Structure 1
Amino acid sequence: MANNNELALVKKDTVDVVASKVKQFQEAGELHFPAHYSPENAMKSAWLKLQEVKAKNGNSYVPILEHCTKDSIANSLLNMVVQGLNPAKNQGYFIAYGKSLTFQRSYFGTMAVTKRVTGAKSINASVIYEGDDVDYEMVNGRIKNLTHKQKFGNLNKENIIGAYCVIDLGHDDVYTELMTIDELRQAWSQSQMWGKEQTKEKKGSTHDNFKQEMAKKTVINRACKKFLNSSDDSSLVIDHFMQQDEKIEEAQAQQEVSENANKEFIDVEYNEVEEDSPPQQEKEQETPTEPQNEFEQAAQDLDKQTQDEGPGF
């Protein structure tokens, strides 16, 4: 791990810079935090977390504060603070893709941002099992008046057929998102832990062992994102909320390009040697290695709870 002097320099170039930027946003009236949220405390918690997190570098793991670029560290902290989130409350996680650090919201964080922006009273999700009685109306393309009757005997993770999330905005204004099991699995298939040919949950995997919770988390994320996408709020918070997935996808894409940059395939032409001809000596051809770019390193394994909220839910 870096010594105290090195850590102090990184902190000066990241935490202090972000704190100054946040102060500018506040003074300009672009950013308002809830009464219970302290950006200073959130960044202190984040800084402690950052000193513990490691990124994969070849066959070993190294501290992300040594491995990732200072710009990406600062941007991930700014993304966290603007959204009013705190990693100490499991509202998000820091994940390295190559040398690019990203802040990835958990579904707790997604709910927190949604409540903050919309003033929602509550956000709740439930799983639908085979044999449950579910009824609702479609009004102007939105689900209305959803009712769900469930019997205790139906509670079996192998019989899940769907899930829904209800965002209660008060004054009889309710937003409902409904997903079938096929839609849930399609979302889960975006996870790096899901095999290419996989169509169902692997026995013993997170999606299998905690299928009910995974279904709830996925539909909550879908509901909050869809609801906020339809919002006409152009605040700084919404901008950062919307940009997060794009930044993560961009970092993943650049990392993939970097990993494949040196995998050059050479098409060699050859002439068939006649049987009586002496064999020609083959000279091994060397392919020059391209210079590494900053995303050359392999991604940190997403074997954490939050990875299921990222693009894989």
Structure 2
Amino acid sequence: MSNQNQLAMIKKDTVDVVAEKVKQFQEAGELHFPANYSPENAMKSAWLKLQEVKAKSGNTYVPVLEHCTKDSVANSLLNMVVQGLNPAKNQGYFIAYGKSLTFQRSYFGTMAVTKRVTGAKSIDAAVIYEGDDVDYEMVNGKIKNLSHKQQFGNINKEKITGAYCIIDFGEGETYTELMTMDEIRQAWSKSQMWGKDQTVERKGSTHDEFKQEMAKKTVINRACKRYINSSDDSSLVINHFNQTDEAVEEAQAQQEISENANSEYIDIEATEVDEPEQAPKQEQAQEEQLNVDQAMDQMEEKEPVTAGGPSF
């Protein structure tokens, strides 16, 4: 079978199936897209991206469309569309763990979903340095009225003490997440790029070179996820928001089990993954570049999107 015929069959079993399900959801009134989001265009962009993504098979790299299961390809596409995201806008990436393909939101994607679900007007983050004056109140266990005064001379990536994110809903309503640098490093330690016994950023790594941007990214992810999951909204978009992260964690765990299948002892601790967009070990170099892109590009991107729908 020619490569073109094989791709056509895979497309029929994945993209076309997802497109038909999306159509059914829309006709049933379960799925609503804003005027500026086209699921057809998003899936076209995704299909083009998928033809470029590789997965490791033994000592070689093969196309994920040939290597990964059709169900995982279809589910990753559905998770993307339900959340109203588009990989062409750097809102997420397709990454393979073994034979499972996953769609992993970038923090731009997480911000977009949060704005769509909550109606937030803006999501902003800032880094706190040694010598900065930070004051806030605790009201019913929530941070309120955060004040941050900073001297220009304090700005030094080696002297970061923490970061915060404020989600602004307008009319004076906000949600604030505050993290110490120790908490941020603990989140970073869940990344497969972080060594087993590593306690600080590896010299020259993304987390070291772009420490401020990576700290902001981490606190934004934490704020958006915690706020969404603290709501009583059981909408389909929120279900898929969480399913995306769960699928990544499960695929990572299965890959680790497979890699350690011949070991006498396997130690896998269930932990919250604060940074989902991390590649398997064999793709670290590629994913570090993606992280740089996410950290440095379009820091002021504010494009709310809409979507919803059940999974396979």
- Equivalence for 1:301: 283
Output the CA distance in 1 between the equivalents of 2:205 and 2:241.
29
**Counterpart AA for 2:112:** A
Does residue 110 (structure 1) correspond to residue 92 (structure 2)? The answer is no
- Equivalence for 2:44: 44
Output the CA distance in 1 between the equivalents of 2:147 and 2:211.
22
- Equivalence for 1:20: 20
**Counterpart AA for 1:101:** L
- Equivalence for 1:246: 246
- Equivalence for 1:57: 57
Output the CA distance in 1 between the equivalents of 2:84 and 2:282.
25
- Equivalence for 2:309: none
* Contact kept in structure 2, 1:56 and 1:299, CA below 8 Å: no
SS at match of 1:194: coil
**Alpha-carbon displacement from aligned partner over 1:213-235 (angstroms, at most 9, x marks no partner):** 00000000000000000111111
SS at match of 1:301: helix
* Contact kept in structure 1, 2:90 and 2:106, CA below 8 Å: yes
Greater relative CO, 1 or 2 (CA 8 Å, sep 6+): 2
Query: Which structure has the larger Rg over C-alpha atoms?
Result: 1
SS at match of 1:168: strand
Output the CA distance in 1 between the equivalents of 2:206 and 2:226.
25
Structure 1 position 28, deviation (Å)? 1.4
Normalising by structure 1, we get a TM-score of 0.85
* Contact kept in structure 1, 2:192 and 2:281, CA below 8 Å: no
- Once the two structures are superposed, the pairs formed by residues 219-238 of structure 1 within 5 Å of their partners are 219-238=219-238
Structure 2: where are the runs of 5+ without partners?
A: 266-279, 295-312
Output the CA distance in 1 between the equivalents of 2:96 and 2:238.
23
How many correspondences in the alignment? 277
Structure 1 position 12, deviation (Å)? 0.3
**Alpha-carbon displacement from aligned partner over 1:187-218 (angstroms, at most 9, x marks no partner):** 00000010111110011010000000000000
- Equivalence for 1:93: 93
- Equivalence for 1:187: 187
- Once the two structures are superposed, the pairs formed by residues 1-313 of structure 1 within 5 Å of their partners are 3-263=3-263, 300-303=282-285, 304-305=287-288
Output the CA distance in 1 between the equivalents of 2:30 and 2:106.
24
Output the CA distance in 2 between the equivalents of 1:230 and 1:45.
33
**Alpha-carbon displacement from aligned partner over 1:226-273 (angstroms, at most 9, x marks no partner):** 0000111111100000111111111111112222224469xxxxxxxx
Q: Quickly say closer, same or farther: Cα 1:153–1:50, change in 2 above 3 A.
A: same
Structure 1 position 34, deviation (Å)? 1.7
* Contact kept in structure 2, 1:135 and 1:147, CA below 8 Å: yes
Output the CA distance in 2 between the equivalents of 1:246 and 1:300.
21
Q: CA RMSD in A?
A: 1.8
Q: Quickly say closer, same or farther: Cα 1:105–1:259, change in 2 above 3 A.
A: same
Structure 1 position 300, deviation (Å)? 4.8
- Equivalence for 1:274: none
Would you identify which runs of 4 or more consecutive aligned residues in structure 1 move more than 3 Å?
Answer: 262-265, 305-309
SS at match of 2:164: strand
Q: Percent identity?
A: 81
* Contact kept in structure 1, 2:129 and 2:154, CA below 8 Å: yes
Output the CA distance in 2 between the equivalents of 1:222 and 1:26.
31
* Contact kept in structure 2, 1:95 and 1:300, CA below 8 Å: no
* Contact kept in structure 2, 1:201 and 1:207, CA below 8 Å: yes
* Contact kept in structure 2, 1:2 and 1:66, CA below 8 Å: no
* Contact kept in structure 1, 2:33 and 2:84, CA below 8 Å: yes
Normalising by structure 2, we get a TM-score of 0.85
Q: Quickly say closer, same or farther: Cα 1:46–1:20, change in 2 above 3 A.
A: same
Output the CA distance in 2 between the equivalents of 1:208 and 1:257.
30
